[in-house]
Amino acid sequence: MLVDSHCHLNYPGLIEELPDVLSRARTAGVGTMVCICSRMGEFPDIRAIAEANPDVYCSVGVHPHDSGDDAPVALETLLHEAKHPKVVGIGETGLDFYYDKSPRDAQEINFRTHIAAARETGLPLIVHTRDADARTVEILTEEYQKGPFPGLIHCFTAGSELAESVIELGFYISLSGIITFKNAEAIRETVARLPLERILVETDSPFLAPIPRRGKRNEPAYVVHTAERAAELFGLSPAGLARTTTANFFRLFTRAKAPAAAV
């Protein structure tokens, strides 16, 4: 069994054919999926998808891209929504200095609010970071000193310094289809040196379809291709990689329940 630790099932391309998307995922051996929240306005739809499907969980949070449009997200709002039993993580949050779609100070304010929510709930912080390695590490380290919190770096594309720093904080690293891309040699080299017991896999669907689906609309079933490439990097069988990353997922996402078949 595999887990898709990060997908956007409510987005165009997936929502129109959600029953088929979910059944293809199940057929491919994907036993658990986490539908990730990017804006508070989409949270009711995401929560409804998780409520309707026993193998789908969700998160609550505001993406750095969306941090400039609305007022900063309130800690009370995150804490309130995080009480729902299908909410298993806080995010996605973080810093995106590549697209800079929101002012950087607005991204940082929301990032710290999400960290406070993760610290208070004990739910893992789902971090998106792009072209912002140094500042991401600074904020995580500074906040960690105020009190620990669990978390992961999703869709890992950062450098080895960020990876080593967050591993030291106890974080996990989630690998997306990017590790299958031909031009991702540097990322693969960094990943291969990371501790296997901290590795998760994800699709970030409908984006970032792995080879051999690259350029098409991505969906949770395709996490199989990313897992196969990850297995090669770690010198494992696909079954061994699946077993380990699934165990890692449930160790981090303590509120998600492993299906009976996986334990």
Residues that bind Zn ion (CB under 5 A): 36, 92, 128, 204
B/e letters for 37-58, b = 16+ CB within 10 Å, e = fewer, are bbbbebbeebbebbeebebbbb
Asked if the peptide bond before residue 92 counts as cis, ω within 30 degrees of 0, the response is yes
Q: Least separation, in Å, of the C-beta of 215 and Zn ion?
A: 18
Burial of 36 (0-12, 13-18, 19+ CB in 10 A): buried
Looking at the Cβ atoms of 4 and 143, the one nearer to Zn ion is: 4
Looking at the Cβ atoms of 65 and 213, the one nearer to Zn ion is: 65
Looking at the Cβ atoms of 36 and 60, the one nearer to Zn ion is: 36
Q: What is the 3-state secondary structure (H, E, C) of 159-226?
A: CHHHHHHHHHCCCEEEECHHHHCCCCHHHHHHHHCCCHHHEEECCCECCCCCCCCCCCCCCHHHHHHH
Q: Least separation, in Å, of the C-beta of 9 and Zn ion?
A: 11
Does residue 132 contact residue 95 with C-beta atoms inside 8 Å? yes
Q: Least separation, in Å, of the C-beta of 25 and Zn ion?
A: 17
Looking at the Cβ atoms of 60 and 231, the one nearer to Zn ion is: 60
Looking at the Cβ atoms of 218 and 248, the one nearer to Zn ion is: 218
Q: Least separation, in Å, of the C-beta of 128 and Zn ion?
A: 3
Asked if the peptide bond before residue 212 counts as cis, ω within 30 degrees of 0, the response is yes
Looking at the Cβ atoms of 180 and 231, the one nearer to Zn ion is: 180
For 57, the 3-state DSSP assignment is strand
Helix 160-168 vs helix 133-146: angle between axes, to the nearest 10 degrees?
10
Q: For residues 233 and 179, what is the distance between their CA atoms, to the nearest angstrom?
A: 10
Q: Least separation, in Å, of the C-beta of 6 and Zn ion?
A: 6
Q: Least separation, in Å, of the C-beta of 71 and Zn ion?
A: 22
CA dihedral 104, 143, 196, 239 (to 10 degrees): -70
Report the alpha-carbon angle 191-193-199, nearest 5.
Answer: 55
Looking at the Cβ atoms of 92 and 143, the one nearer to Zn ion is: 92
Q: Least separation, in Å, of the C-beta of 243 and Zn ion?
A: 25
